[in-house]
Amino acid sequence: MKDKQNTERDKTNVSRRHLLKGAVAGALAMPGLATAHNATVAKAEPEDQVDLSRQHAFYGKGGQAGVTTTPQRHVMYMTFDMTSQNPRDLQILLARWSAAIAQMMAGEIIGQVEPVRNSGIGMDTGEALDLGPASLTVTVGLGPGIFTETYGLADKKPALMRELVQLPSDNLQSAFTGGDLSLQACADDPQVAYHAIRNLARIAKDTGAAATRWSVLGFGRASAGKNQSTPRNLFGFKDGTRNLTEPTDFKKFVWINDGGPAWQQQGTYQVVRKIKMHIENWDTDRVSDQNAVFGRHKVSGAPLSGEKEFDTPDFHQKDSEGAPVIPVTSHISLAAHENNQGIRILRRSYNYTDGINKLGMLDAGLLFISYQKDPASFEALQTRLGAADALNEYISHIGSGIFFVPPAPPEGDYIGSQLFS
């Protein structure tokens, strides 16, 4: 009897396997899909393969890691409110964070995981043991609330640091807005990124200096770096095709090099936006409409005026009826530097999901992160987009924050140390 049951179970499993194989084969037999599948397999590029042994340096000259670093696959982003008004506590927190970040970026633990005394509490939570550095970078940002008389730092405030102006796209929720400090942990292993933020949040609590405010766990980089294939956002479109990738562009648009206070040079401004996507609405729209919203073809990523992804968009090209081939309300038309007096920003965004909302609909979107030497550059672009972008029908900006990212500390120092000298 038992042998008969096993035989029937094996038949069922074989049947299921054949059914799955048939479904895959049938899908690939559809026009265009087999070609696309084979092209994807053949195009497996070395830069898209994960090497968990790769690591980045925390200390050094220039900007912090995690800004112009080649984007990793995952992010854990968190903001904090200061809970102490003592400048000394802020100084200690930044020093402890710096030491811990340097160790974690090297793939090391930040203290004992299993104390000698069984009753002891572990310093490192241990979930990243044996996972390697995984290209981890942790980037620290200082919010407007840091540069006040409370901490004796009003006279150290960076020249362009301020709250963002109100933007047409704002539908902000306090639960996802603001913060005195920010941490952006990027890695090629999501658990490595999570471990970094978890342990740094624990240090903040232990010092009594700061408490968590809001966070986002992101996946699937949605901005391309140099030599990376362009990723896709949750709307299915390639994102970051025209992103900054060259050191000359970073120098021109990202890093502060205006000859001001020495401690601010090679710093930058971080703008973060949590953008909710109305995915179900988008999924029911015709692809031709979706193409018009972005100004690009969904599969190839090519501008509607061209044939290949990296073709330069021709915003003057007209169709047979005299209308612009790339609609003036399309996302790429409104965001293009050609149409914005040359303004450019560095995007470092990720997709995110919060599961489902109370209506049973998908709760997901884009964690938009940008770096620029002047926050007004972001404001100028977003003002145009927020006022006329056809994409606004399908998105809502529900979270926001702005932070100054100091330069990387030299060996043996810590982030922002010159603030307290």
* pLDDT at residue 23, as a whole number: 42
| Chain position carrying tokens 């994409």 | 391
Q: Is the dihedral of CA 221, 223, 228, 233 positive or negative?
A: positive
61 class by beta-carbon count within 10 Å (0-12 exposed, 13-18 middle, 19+ buried): exposed
Q: How far apart are CA 346 and CA 348, in angstroms?
A: 7
**198-206 long-range contacts, Cβ below 8 Å, gap at least 24?**
198/125, 198/127, 199/100, 199/104, 199/110, 199/124, 199/125, 200/97, 200/100, 200/101, 200/138, 201/78, 201/80, 202/125, 203/93, 203/96, 203/97, 203/100, 204/80, 204/93, 204/97
Question: What whole-number percentage of the chain has pLDDT above 90?
Answer: 81
- Cα Rg of the chain (Å, integer): 24
Mean pLDDT of the chain: 90
What average pLDDT does range 94-101 have in this prediction? 97
Is residue 132 classed as helix, strand or coil in its secondary structure? coil
pLDDT value at 369 more than 70: yes
- Max alpha carbon distance in the chain (Å)? 85
Residue 157: how many CB atoms within 10 A of its CB? 16
pLDDT value at 373 more than 60: yes
Q: How far apart are CA 334 and CA 381, in angstroms?
A: 8
H runs (alpha helix) in 254-345: 279-283, 287-294, 331-335
pLDDT tens by residue, 109-158: 988 887 766 656 778 899 999 999 999 999 999 999 999 999 999 999 99
Q: Are 159 and 260 within 8 A, CB to CB?
A: yes
Q: Are 295 and 313 within 8 A, CB to CB?
A: yes
What average pLDDT does range 41-52 have in this prediction? 59
pLDDT value at 45 more than 70: no
Q: Are 147 and 154 within 8 A, CB to CB?
A: yes
* pLDDT at residue 13, as a whole number: 45
Is residue 327 classed as helix, strand or coil in its secondary structure? coil
Question: What whole-number percentage of the chain has pLDDT above 70?
Answer: 87
pLDDT value at 30 more than 50: no
